[in-house]
Amino acid sequence: MSRSRGHLSTNILVALVAAGTTWLAMSAWRDLTVTPGSFLNPLLLLAAVVAGTGTAARWWRWPGPLVVLFQLAVTGVLTSLLLTGSPLPIGGAWSELTATISDAMDTAQGFAAPVPAEAPPVDPLLILGGLACLLLVDLLACTLHRAPLAGLPLLAVFTIPVGMVGDAVSWWIFAVTAVGFLFLLFLQESDQVSRWGRPLGIDQETGDPIAFGGGASTVRGTAGLVGGAATALAVLLPVLIPATGVHLFDFGPGGGGGDDIRVDNPVADLVRDLRQGEDIPLIRVTTNDPDPSYLRILTLTRFNDAEWSPGNREVPSDHLADGQMPPPQGVSADVSRKEYPYDVSVLPDFDSRWLPTQPPISRVVADGNWRYDDKTMDFIAGDDDLSAASLNYSMTAVDLDLTSERLADAGPPAGKVSDIFTDLPDDLPPIVHDLAVQVTQDATTPYEKAVALQNWFRDDGGFTYSLDQAPSGNGSDALVEFLSDGPGGRTGYCEQFASAMGVMARELGIPARLGIGFLNPDPDGPNSWVYSSRDMHAWPELYFDGAGWVRFEPTPSGRAEDVPGYTVPGSGAEEGPSDSPSASASTSGPVQPSRPRDSESAAAAADDEASAGPGIAWLPVLGGLGGLLVVAGGLLLPRTLRSRRRERRLSSGFAEPIWAELHDTAVDLGVPWPRSRSPRATRAVLVEHFGAPVGPQTAERPTHGPQLAPEAVSALDRLVHTLELDRYSRSGATFDPVRLRADGEACVAALAGGAPRSARRRAAWWPRTVLSSRRRRTSPGTLEAKFGGVVDHVT
Amino acid sequence: MREALAGMTVRGRAFLAAGVTAIVCAVILDQATLARVGVLLLALTLLTVAALARNRYRLTLVRTVAPQLVSAGQSARVTLALANDGLAPNGVLLLEDQVPYVLGTRPRFVLEGISQGWRHSVSYQVRSDVRGRFEIGPMSVRVSDPFGLVELGRTFRTTVPLTVTPRTVPLPHIPLGGAWTGSGDNRPRAFATGSAEDVTVREYRQGDDLRRVHWRSSAKLGELMVRREEQPWQSRATLFLDNRGVAHRGQGIASSLEAAVSAAASIAVHLTHRGFAVRLVTATGEESGSAWHVRGADLNTGPLLESLAVVQPVSQPRLETGWLGEGAHGGLTVAVFGAVETTDLPVLRRMQHHAGSAVAVAVDVNAWIGAPAADGTTRILAQQGWRAAALRPRDRLEAVWQELAHTSTQSSRVQSSRQEGVAT
């Protein structure tokens, strides 16, 4: 009966490989704790025990369930011994065990990986989980002989570090596990094979050798080669596949794994920086822009009950800050604009993962993996360790010439921007809506409503600018507290003003977002400005169709002296919010006289317009054209090659190339060409497929026969005769190139004329003789030789 | 490649699907480990397919069966000589010879790591307790890969026949009264009537009359040939086997037909060894290839037993009598009958009439389905002038055959009186 249970050595090998592979896979859990040895060593012992008990029980031919029970019992006792010191988890040991496990679960929930050594160890959890995997793999691979299924528990082992640490399993652990798994497969398949055939040995009746004993070395070689190559590919290929880095979905801030981008919310910093006493210079810009105010760090797009947050960002790896930027969203092309170059030098103290820009911008060049989100044009660090600190970069800011008339005429914004800019939590207190309606009851257009809101915050609403008495944060509760007219209400600073206006604009159906950045830099020499921590500011940006995202300024003049010119109805083309030095208490710089921006030359504006509009669309167009060219080239290439080959042969002036051309034409058209026949015999076959030359009235499937193309038949006869003279006569043939060419063309035309239209089309566009290699695969004999065949003789 | 792709096993297809799914999920979820798993599965499957598609082995098989004619219960040996004329295959070759299950288990072999020029021969035994003609082969080849992902089927084409003849028993020598029939020198016979003389010329021997030289044949063969005008006397016997389905009971190896066939085979061997030229006639008429020929006894039994090996029950209700009209009057007729109906009586009478001596073994078919022994058939046959003895399941054929010798006097008396009656 040894046949059905195989050799003992094979059984031991399979069990050991299964347990070893599982244990090696579990070494991917090393990063979960600081002391990986404390769970890997017990698991190694358990793996050995699982393999040993399993092998023994199967060797004794116990039924499957009994094998599993036996393994469970032995390893259970051993685990209990390891975890509690008592072989049986009864009484005190049981409570100790449960306490250990619950401690481990608490640790697992409370600490991020790797779990520090001081915390109660998570090892019991890992040991129990690892034991389950070991038992499962042993059950599948050894007891049930289903090695492929054992891959699932192994995969589960791999997913745990990915889920917890966020790191991929290191390549060598993966490679070792893959090799082990493939070895397991190979062993099981060899076992199957040995069960299938007769065992090596001697026929008992006759003493004859009864089986073919070939060395299995080549099979092992094939297995090793295929398995090794597959493992190597599996290790190397995913590194090379760029697609694995693409974010198709983003699961909120900080979601996802791998090289995800951490999205920080610097609003907290804003408060801290504004409140803290010291005024630290953060950014220095050099520009000829007369008013470099409102340097934006980021926008907050999502408002929920707790706060305004940056929301989800799509930052594809090709959206790099390395040159031309997309045109500002929603700005119609007829808005005149000027461009100002900026050279930004971030000082070491400004440690930000967001790159400050002066929106809207048309060009940014910054070193490093800075990616932009084309909805908001925020620039985010693509790498975890990338920071804006000490960075020097340049950009071109666009100054749009917006007028209040344009804003007043703006169409409804519905559908122009993403819904996230109008989303509000369902349980927003009704006071917000009521107030928004009440304030804007006289306004009709969105622009008028926005202006009404701004005026309400700045002048009519009785708000007070104060850093100290403001409600903390910008969530719903803070909002209600800020809006309510009671004691302590209607007091706040830019964060509250901006967020309240943003929320109320959204209540009125105007897409809104919050910009966080700097206001009112201090001049630092000619054309040079310095932004410091006290200049941090927040403002709402509202979307108007045709004007894009438009900045408003609800913060009262205690902080922001002026409102943008277009927010004053009837202000005309003059934006002119002359920037006065910040009135905030901390600002101590000299007063910078305002300079209207339109003093810049009109030529620059014209240039900007010319370069800004269509410039961006070139890339996809070029790409599309290139793709089209490639496709067209691919389609035209076989045809071109074929016609060049035909031309070369026809004009060669010899009979053999023309004969070869005739052969290729026949093959392309699907006309049978007899193999290994004389030209004369071939001619007899070919003339049957001759037809009248192709004309406009040629049928879909034209009739063919020698009588339809008598001149082609005589041309073929001449060709055959020349060929025979050339091949067989002693003196050889004398060639008349012109005649030969004419005959060849006549034959080719006649062949085409006799072929169905589909065959002609295929021959023209998809000629088989060009596309397939020269190898002919016609007879079944070659087919057998190609794929491996069997030939038999019987005596 | 396409064939190898089509030959993927469930495991191979599952790996392929799982690999693609894993890669797609990895791209969507951005999981490098999942991508690795996917690439591993995909690469493993595709590389295996490519490896098997690149196979360039070329197996040749020479199959020998010795002996090709065995009696039921005896064994024959099949020898397979395999050689690989191509390159070493990338994979395991699983060979299975498709032997009819009657002949035993199908031998299976595993070929691993056969290099170019490898040759090996192996033999195995087959035996059958059932008579018949069996085809051994063809050999099927399954090409499998080391991981069980792809499996291609191949098969050799040719087969070898093996004929298993019925079991025979040696019979005692009893007087049969067979006549010497045939044609002599003075009685030339028409060749078309199945004469033993198909060859009309023989080599010239010293003393032959020159007038008998057959010049045409001599010119053709390059040596003197003479016409052969003397013909040997021949002792002829007709062995009749009633293989109508209606005449027999039971199914398969336990049926009365098998007993009848076995008895007929024993009688055929016995008669041949006694010097009779035996022809076999069944319910469908004369068996081709078993006409009277002048051959040695051993040569003669072969075709007879081969014919008997493949005798199957026929559904026709009436016995074919065409063979009776060939002028073969006289001679010995030994018949093995099953159940005899009244409609058969005229045929029985004609057969007896044509025969010089008519001997019958009447298989008591109803005894094969448990009915009590009855000798009705024997009596009917005796009334028709046959020397008949009944064969029952537990009877030994030797004894029954011996019994025929005892019944001979009575039968011949009946026969002679009948002949007298006919004469008068």
Q: Where does residue A298 rank: exposed (0-12), middle (13-18), buried (19+ CB within 10 A)?
A: buried
**Closest in B40, B57, B114 to A231, CB measured:** B40
Tell me which chain B residues have a C-beta less than 8 angstroms from the C-beta of A230. 39-40, 43-44, 47
Residues with Cβ within 8 Å of residue A383, at least 6 apart in sequence:
A259, A368, A369
* Alpha-carbon torsion (A220, A223, A229, A233), positive or negative: negative
Q: Euclidean distance between the first and final Cα of chain A, in Å?
A: 37
Q: Is the pLDDT of residue B95 over 70?
A: yes
d(CA A452, CA B21): 56
Least confident piece of the model among A126-135, A560-569, B292-301: B292-301
Q: Which helix (H) or strand (E) holds A394?
A: strand A392-400
Q: What is the DSSP string of A142-208?
A: IIS--GGGGHHHHHHHHHHHHHHT-PPPPHHHHHHHHHHHHHHHHHHHHHHHHHHSPPSSB-TTT--
What pLDDT, in 10s, does the model give residues A455-472?
A: 888 887 778 887 776 666
d(CA B134, CA B128): 10
Tell me which chain A residues have a C-beta less than 8 angstroms from the C-beta of B4. 787
Closest-CA residue in chain B for A223? B146
What residues of chain A, 110 to 149, have a C-beta less than 8 Å from chain B? 148
Q: CA-CA-CA-CA torsion for B252, B255, B261, B266, nearest 10 degrees?
A: 120
Using a pLDDT cut of 70, give the percent of chain B over it. Answer: 84
d(CA A590, CA B322): 139
CB–CB of A300/A308 below 8 Å? yes
The verdict on A228 touching B (C-beta cutoff 8 Å) is no
Q: What is the DSSP letter of A546?
A: B
What backbone phi and psi angles, to 5 degrees, belong to A489? -85, 170
Report CB contact under 8 Å: A790, B55: no
Residue-averaged pLDDT of chain B? 80
Nearest to A604 by CA among A238, A308, A199, A288: A288
For residue B18, what pLDDT is reported? 93
What backbone phi and psi angles, to 5 degrees, belong to B48? -65, -45
HEC letters along A638-675: HHHHHHHHHHHHHCCCCHHHHHHHHHHHHHHHCCCCCC
A417, A673, A682, A729 from A677: Cα distances, Å? 74, 9, 6, 18
For residue A290, what pLDDT is reported? 78
Query: pLDDT category, A582, cuts 50, 70, 90?
Result: very low
Query: pLDDT category, B41, cuts 50, 70, 90?
Result: very high
What residues of chain B, 68 to 107, have a C-beta less than 8 Å from chain A? 77, 82, 85-86, 88-92, 94-95, 107
DSSP 3-state assignment of A754?
helix
- Cβ pairs A/B, distance under 8 A: 224
What residues of chain B, 133 to 152, have a C-beta less than 8 Å from chain A? 137-139, 141, 143-148
Report CB contact under 8 Å: B44, A226: yes
d(CA A489, CA A479): 10
Per the model's pLDDT, the better-predicted residue between A193 and A776 turns out to be A193
d(CA B312, CA B310): 6
d(CA B165, CA B384): 32
Per the model's pLDDT, the better-predicted residue between A25 and A492 turns out to be A25
**Closest in A148, A205, A216 to B11, CB measured:** A148
Query: pLDDT category, A656, cuts 50, 70, 90?
Result: confident
* Alpha-carbon torsion (A54, A56, A58, A64), positive or negative: negative
Give the tokens for residue B271.
Answer: 């008669």
Indicate the pTM of the whole model: 0.53
Q: Is the pLDDT of residue A188 over 50?
A: yes
DSSP 3-state assignment of A52?
helix
A45, A632, B244 from B233: Cα distances, Å? 95, 94, 34
Instruction: Give buried/exposed letters for A714-743 (b at 16+ CB in 10 A, else e).
Output: ebbebbbebbebbeeeeeebebeeeebbeb
Least confident piece of the model among B185-199, B308-322, B358-372: B185-199
Nearest to A765 by CA among A637, A656, A603: A637
CB–CB of A47/A71 below 8 Å? no
For residue A208, what pLDDT is reported? 46
Residues with Cβ within 8 Å of residue B110, at least 6 apart in sequence:
A193, A194, A196, A197, A198, A211, A212, B92, B93, B94, B95
Residue with tokens 């996917």, as numbered in its chain: B38
What residues of chain A, 180 to 209, have a C-beta less than 8 Å from chain B? 182, 185-186, 188-190, 192-194, 196-198, 203, 205-206, 208-209
ipTM of the complex: 0.72
Amino acid at A156: A
What pLDDT, in 10s, does the model give residues A718-754?
A: 999 998 888 888 887 788 888 889 999 999 999 888 8
The verdict on A303 touching B (C-beta cutoff 8 Å) is no
d(CA A767, CA A759): 10
Residue-averaged pLDDT of chain A? 77
CB–CB of A130/A46 below 8 Å? yes
Q: What is the DSSP letter of A27?
A: G
For residues B13-24, average pLDDT: 91
Minimal C-alpha gap between A316 and chain B (Å)? 13
Q: Which helix (H) or strand (E) holds A685?
A: helix A679-687
**Closest in B29, B40, B148 to A189, CB measured:** B148
For residues A572-585, average pLDDT: 40
Give the tokens for residue A791.
Answer: 């030939």
**Closest in B59, B120, B125 to A790, CB measured:** B59
Give the tokens for residue B377.
Answer: 């058939």
For residues B38-54, average pLDDT: 90
Tell me which chain B residues have a C-beta less than 8 angstroms from the C-beta of A257. 29-31
Q: Is the pLDDT of residue A600 over 70?
A: no
What backbone phi and psi angles, to 5 degrees, belong to B351? -65, -45
d(CA A495, CA A474): 7
d(CA A680, CA A674): 11
d(CA A553, CA A480): 20
Query: pLDDT category, A191, cuts 50, 70, 90?
Result: confident
For residue A451, what pLDDT is reported? 86
For residue A570, what pLDDT is reported? 66
Tell me which chain B residues have a C-beta less than 8 angstroms from the C-beta of A171. 36
d(CA A470, CA A455): 20
Q: Which of B5, B59, B112 to mutate to test binding with chain A, by most A CBs within 10 Å of its CB? A: B112
For residues B242-257, average pLDDT: 88
Per the model's pLDDT, the better-predicted residue between A202 and B226 turns out to be B226
